[in-house]
Chain A
């Protein structure tokens, strides 16, 4: 699979502060990469490095096959960007904002008009097209900034907190748009967000960063696997010993732990089919009241990584 973004040991220092430390990551083309981390973790510095706005102290990066620092113009000609601020010109109208960026991207006058109208209608901003955007609400401005990022149909889009300021309906619609953009058009999305549920819903690949260091990167399944194996929680009034023994003998079952409300069955992995296990319990005479499958959420993974890293950091400071 072609890589849209590839970094090897990417590092950036600001004086004595190391803002990004040895980042090595590959984002496949046509995927959504979620870059998660607390404020000041190094997400914005990474985006600036990938756009060629900052030079790396050490390390290399390729974005759409180009070196961002040496071939920044080529990178920026192919990407769309929504940074942590909408970056709109308040004194200009919505149409003028898009007109300006259309000129930057060398869209023809007719293309600028058509594209601006299509995007403004899509984001339900067409009726306010002639208002100075300084008079708009935060959510409307965010929508316009997203429209601007997509105006020239880029191959790669950097979205920094795209749903910040949007109401729940607009946020859900945007998530659908992003998913469709990737699935139907093969666009690659580099997404930073604090909304872990959003990342869980959208991202094919997730990287977690803290204080400039990449703590983990992988698919959601891979990250969840770090957190522990999936579990089947069985709520039942009584569970005979023979049922526990029978379960333990089943393939795919790692462990069976009786609890006050029933059983917890630890599975080898998330691919294990749990229907035969429930049938077995019923055959063994267990009155099953409820069965639920549990696996770590992205939030669990994120919080665990943050806790582990802060403990490791405390230990490093002691040493």
Chain B
């Protein structure tokens, strides 16, 4: 019979297989968010075009007031948009995807149906976090390739705008930021009343953690800025990267632990 005839039960499957099923679905949904068709794709193209092409094109010495002259040339100017694009995309996208996958699903009445399946809570959450992180990192890499190619075209003969060692470090930091944002978005989404509210709260953290220091640097007096940039440039790159990466990693572990502890069926239905 087409409809019935009971089959053996699928119980207690591996966490990996269950998470992969959720990941499979959420990646598809995430890449099509903003509409099932062209709307979502245009948004994606705009972001990649801005960070991958336009920003590297407009990175010129005239935009580096206050930066020591020895730094305001060559690879540093070319490298900043590449790094900025990679880090911003790795930071922005996972949060939006995870908000959509939890608060958005609850709003669209698909979350309860998912919770009524045999999937354990942790497999659902893991799949959703991985989907957000994978999309964020995937787009970061696409942006990185685009911005590198653009830079090589604009500054022929200069070589790679970011050295391979820096690139490895950047990808690591990008991954950590993606995990940070995904975990934070999952916690916010558990309690948010709507997708919009979840995204607003997650964006607020983005503003505080990322944009305030960035904008602050732009607004501060030229002398101060020069001091800050000199201090930063005087740091040993590897040491600075390791300290920063360790701090963010510790925050990631904490946020993930909180997220997995909070992500429970009953709480999700009652929120």
| Complex-state Cα separation, A46 to B12, whole angstroms | 25
For B239, the chain A residues whose CB sits under 8 A away are: none
B117 pairs with A155, CB closer than 8 A? no
Whether, in the assembled complex, B110 has its beta carbon less than 8 Å from a beta carbon of chain A, the answer is: yes
For A180, the chain B residues whose CB sits under 8 A away are: 1, 3
B: contact size bracket: 35 or more
A73 pairs with B13, CB closer than 8 A? no
For B29, the chain A residues whose CB sits under 8 A away are: 89, 91-92
B4 pairs with A153, CB closer than 8 A? yes
| Complex-state Cα separation, A54 to B25, whole angstroms | 25
Segment from B16-24, B84-92, B178-186, B217-225 that makes contact with A: B16-24
Q: Which residue of A lies closest to B30 (CB)?
A: A91
The contact of A90 among B18, B24, B36, B113, by CB within 8 Å, is: B36
B109 pairs with A153, CB closer than 8 A? no
A76 pairs with B118, CB closer than 8 A? yes
Whether, in the assembled complex, B196 has its beta carbon less than 8 Å from a beta carbon of chain A, the answer is: no
Number of interface residues of A (CB under 8 A): 50
Q: Smallest CB–CB gap between B44 and chain A, Å?
A: 14
Complex interface bits, B1-43 against A, C-beta within 8 A gives 1, otherwise 0: 1111111011111000110110011001100110010000000
Within B39-76, the residues touching A (CB, 8 Å) are none
The contact of A53 among B7, B25, B32, B116, by CB within 8 Å, is: B116
The contact of B4 among A78, A92, A134, A185, by CB within 8 Å, is: A185
Whether, in the assembled complex, B79 has its beta carbon less than 8 Å from a beta carbon of chain A, the answer is: no
For B32, the chain A residues whose CB sits under 8 A away are: 91-92, 132
| Complex-state Cα separation, A111 to B109, whole angstroms | 27
| Complex-state Cα separation, A83 to B5, whole angstroms | 22
Complex interface bits, A103-117 against B, C-beta within 8 A gives 1, otherwise 0: 111110000000000
For B28, the chain A residues whose CB sits under 8 A away are: 91-92, 96
The contact of A54 among B3, B13, B109, B269, by CB within 8 Å, is: B269
Within A73-129, the residues touching B (CB, 8 Å) are 73-74, 76-79, 81, 83, 85-92, 96, 100-101, 103-107, 118-119, 122
For A263, the chain B residues whose CB sits under 8 A away are: none
B112 pairs with A104, CB closer than 8 A? no
Q: A73-B11, A78-B9, A104-B117 are in contact. Are A54 and B266 (CB under 8 A)?
A: yes
B109 pairs with A87, CB closer than 8 A? yes
Whether, in the assembled complex, B265 has its beta carbon less than 8 Å from a beta carbon of chain A, the answer is: yes
Q: Which residue of A lies closest to B29 (CB)?
A: A91
Whether, in the assembled complex, B169 has its beta carbon less than 8 Å from a beta carbon of chain A, the answer is: no
Within A43-81, the residues touching B (CB, 8 Å) are 48, 51-55, 72-74, 76-79, 81
Q: Which residue of A lies closest to B115 (CB)?
A: A53
| Complex-state Cα separation, A215 to B212, whole angstroms | 61
Q: Which residue of A lies closest to B17 (CB)?
A: A106
B5 pairs with A153, CB closer than 8 A? yes
For B241, the chain A residues whose CB sits under 8 A away are: none
Complex interface bits, B254-265 against A, C-beta within 8 A gives 1, otherwise 0: 000000000001
Whether, in the assembled complex, A143 has its beta carbon less than 8 Å from a beta carbon of chain B, the answer is: no
A153 pairs with B7, CB closer than 8 A? yes
A-B contact list, 29 entries, CB within 8 Å: A14-B270, A53-B115, A53-B269, A54-B266, A73-B11, A73-B12, A77-B118, A79-B116, A83-B109, A83-B116, A86-B109, A89-B29, A91-B28, A91-B36, A92-B25, A100-B21, A100-B24, A103-B24, A104-B21, A104-B117, A104-B119, A107-B10, A132-B36, A134-B36, A152-B7, A155-B6, A181-B4, A184-B4, A185-B1
Residues of B within 8 A of A (CB): 1-7, 9-13, 17-18, 20-21, 24-25, 28-29, 32-33, 36, 108-110, 112-120, 265-266, 269-270
